[in-house]
Amino acid sequence: DGPLPATSIYDHHHMSTEQRYAENIHNFLQTNADDPACKDFLRDLKTHLLQRLTDGTALHTDDEPTDEDIARVRICSNRLYRQKVLRINYTTYDMR
């Protein structure tokens, strides 16, 4: 892994597209079954993806997706990829 290249200040975030550190989603959830952050993780992830990949047009903002909606979201090879660096650009007004 090399360092991330410089990021435009107009980009909200930047992260690597490296796919070296893959983890099976189901193994991840089983390993972390006692972690409260993993409660409804897969459903929440698919809801998030459904809203982002369709520019929010698949669901109304107040609507919860149906089980059928969630079933339509497929994650290739059921993999998550760990990333070591994520850059987020934000404005702060701390005047100290």
Domain extents in the chain? 13-87
Q: Which residue has the tokens 């390993």?
A: 31
Tell me what pLDDT residue 36 has. Answer: 96
In the chain, beta strands by DSSP E: 13-15, 22-24, 79-81, 86-88
Tell me the whole-structure pTM to 2 decimals.
0.70
Positions of the chain with pLDDT lower than 50, given as ranges: none
Tell me what pLDDT residue 18 has. Answer: 81
What does the block give as tokens for 33? 């079954």
pLDDT, one tens digit per residue, over 17-26 is 888 899 999 9
**In this structure, what are the phi and psi dihedrals at residue 78, rounded to the nearest 5 degrees?**
50, 45
What does the block give as tokens for 19? 């796919």
